[in-house]
């Protein structure tokens, strides 16, 4: 029984090795490709401007909430119970407004995410199409991103097709 398991293991191992030898592999550096695409830089600049504008809006709302809280704390002893309750409700409402703005702009399905998807996804699709076309032309079976592979210690520069992808995209 042990011999059968060992024989089966050896057969699977040798089959896997034989299959790996038949595959051609190339690498890209996605960071390098993106850095050299002007449309990606433009999209990032647009996202940065939107992010700054939204962040200023959030900071202004936070400042309003802080001022309301400070004023309330200063005037609290002069207010009736009813006035205190109304002011506290206004402060809570303002703080909730700040949280809603943060979610609206930077939340999981927020405006920033949607805008990034609208600007970056077409660029990514274009890169993917270029990689796929290059892989078909050069009969490459596997293309890996070396910038995303922390286990990659060494790679021959002959296997890097990043510049060829950029050429296919029409970039410098």
Decide if 60 contacts 98 (C-beta within 8 A): no
Neighbours of 161 (CB within 10 A): 22
Assess if residue 12 is contained within a domain: no
Residue 45: C-alpha distances to residues 39, 52, 84, 119 (Å): 10, 11, 46, 11
| Angle at CA of residue 126, ends 156 and 119, nearest 5° | 120
> Residue 10: pLDDT above 70?
no
Residue 95: C-alpha distances to residues 84, 88, 109, 112, 172 (Å): 16, 11, 21, 21, 49
DSSP label of 108: T
pLDDT tier at 153, thresholds 50, 70, 90: low
Assess if residue 13 is contained within a domain: no
Task: Report the number of distinct structural domains present in the chain.
Answer: 1
Assess if residue 124 is contained within a domain: yes
Instruction: Select from 45, 54, 166 the least CA-distant residue to 116.
Output: 45
Supply the pLDDT for residue 4.
41
Decide if 54 contacts 111 (C-beta within 8 A): yes
Question: What are residue 10's DSSP bridge partners?
Answer: none
Assess if residue 9 is contained within a domain: no
Assess if residue 140 is contained within a domain: yes
Tens of pLDDT, residues 101-120: 999 999 999 999 999 999 99
Domain that holds residue 130: 22-169
pLDDT tier at 170, thresholds 50, 70, 90: confident
| Angle at CA of residue 115, ends 113 and 116, nearest 5° | 65
Assess if residue 5 is contained within a domain: no
Assess if residue 11 is contained within a domain: no
Assess if residue 132 is contained within a domain: yes
> Residue 5: pLDDT above 70?
no
Tens of pLDDT, residues 15-61: 455 455 567 889 999 999 999 999 999 999 999 999 999 999 999 99
Rounded percentage of the chain residues whose pLDDT exceeds 70: 83
């Amino acid at each position: 029984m042990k011999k059968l398991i060992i024989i089966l293991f050896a057969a699977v191992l040798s089959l896997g090795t034989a299959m790996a030898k038949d595959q051609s592999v190339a690498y890209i550096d996605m960071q390098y490709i993106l850095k050299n695409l002007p449309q990606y830089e433009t999209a990032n600049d647009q996202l940065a401007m939107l992010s700054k504008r939204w962040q200023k809006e959030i900071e202004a709302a936070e400042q309003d909430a802080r001022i309301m809280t400070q004023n309330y704390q200063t005037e609290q002893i002069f207010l009736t119970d009813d006035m205190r309750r109304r002011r506290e409700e206004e402060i809570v409402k303002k703080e909730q407004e700040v949280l809603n703005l943060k979610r609206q702009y930077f939340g999981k399905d927020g405006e920033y995410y949607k805008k990034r998807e609208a600007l970056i996804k077409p660029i990514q699709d274009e890169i993917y199409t270029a990689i796929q076309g290059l892989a078909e032309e050069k009969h490459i079976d596997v293309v890996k991103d070396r910038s995303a592979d922390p286990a990659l210690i060494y790679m021959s520069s002959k296997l890097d097709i990043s510049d060829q992808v950029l050429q296919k995209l029409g970039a410098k």
